[in-house]
Amino acid sequence: MRSSLTTLAYALLANAVNGQLDIGSLLSGLGPAPADDPRWTDFHPPGTGDVRSPCPGLNALANHGFIHHDGKNMTLPHLIEGLAAGMNMGADFTVAISGAGLLSSPDPFAGAFDLNDLDMHNFPIEHDASLSRQDAYFGNDYSFYNDNWQQVLNFYDGKTTTDVPTASRAKYARVNDSMTINPTFTYGTREAIFSYGETALYIQSMSDPASGMAQIDYVRSLFEQEKLPFELGWRPSAAPITLQSLGNMVFELFLANPQNVPEGLTITANSYKDAFEAVAGGSNILANLTDGLSTSVGL
């Protein structure tokens, strides 16, 4: 275990490094890589020593080299650039969720995490009733688990694209299943909002920030192979996918079945953004964790 002195030294070092960050140039000119970028078709599953996460989005980006293929040393500047290049994720989203992600690392204030840190159960992001993973109670909560994924896919039987009402029902089927079979099932405000966010993420990353219509074969590639479906015809969204576009869809998913959230919980378009600040322990702590970047992107 690292002594607190070492932890402090790491934090100071991270600040010294980050202090040289030119936030303005980091946040300007972000966007998807051009169509001839070799990474779109350069797909390599993880090899020996590489680490992956419970997140199909990050795993796919690592499998294409948009973020480090070994899954390690994920810093904010690296993620902001990689998620924009591979999926046109807005910097506001990447900063908020990466701030939360840092909390799962053994050294949150050192400024980097490894993808396998993210399997920590019930905090900061991981939760029960995932679409394509098992609950931690049953063992491995990070690898693709087809039985659960088929429960989701069943709802899209006969359809070629997603739609918000179906996505909302499919998500609830996983909650209902976990509630029935997992004696330690945990599902409160954090879990409900983040899991709606993940449904919004697969829809928007595989289509655009507004339509709600992603091709099912693209979605299956993302989950089942952790591969960007470039060869199937998918292209990254032309408009950036932001905390607000995701928050709007979280709200729509909730409105489609408002009885399917924990009793008393009301979700609005701001709930998704608020949940990241809440899980970090407040906007000041999020700002500290992200070395001021959260403030720069309006959080």
Ligand X SMILES: *[C@@H]1O[C@H](CO)[C@@H](O)[C@H](O)[C@H]1NC(C)=O
**Whose CA is closest to 195, among 139, 147, 131, 274?**
131
Comparison of 177 and 217: residue with beta carbon closer to ligand X: 177
The one-character DSSP state at 241 is: B
Judged by CB under 6 A, which of 78, 121, 190, 220 binds ligand X? 78
Comparison of 83 and 249: residue with beta carbon closer to ligand HEM: 83
Comparison of 246 and 299: residue with beta carbon closer to ligand X: 299
User: Is residue 73 within the footprint of ligand X (CB under 6 A)?
Assistant: yes
Comparison of 56 and 111: residue with beta carbon closer to ligand HEM: 56
Give min distance, CB of 130 to ligand HEM, in A: 3
Judged by CB under 6 A, which of 59, 178, 288, 294 binds ligand X? 288
User: Is residue 176 within the footprint of ligand X (CB under 6 A)?
Assistant: yes
Tokens for 242, please give them.
């932001």
User: Is residue 20 within the footprint of ligand X (CB under 6 A)?
Assistant: no
Binding residues for ligand HEM (CB under 6 A): 54-58, 79, 83, 87, 89, 94, 97-98, 101, 118, 125-127, 130-133, 198, 201-202, 205
Q: Which does 96 bind (CB under 5 to 8 A by kind): ligand X, ligand HEM, none?
A: none
Q: Which does 246 bind (CB under 5 to 8 A by kind): ligand HEM, ligand X, none?
A: none
Q: Which does 288 bind (CB under 5 to 8 A by kind): ligand HEM, ligand X, none?
A: ligand X
List residues near ligand X by CB under 6 A: 73, 75, 78, 112, 173, 176, 180, 284-285, 288
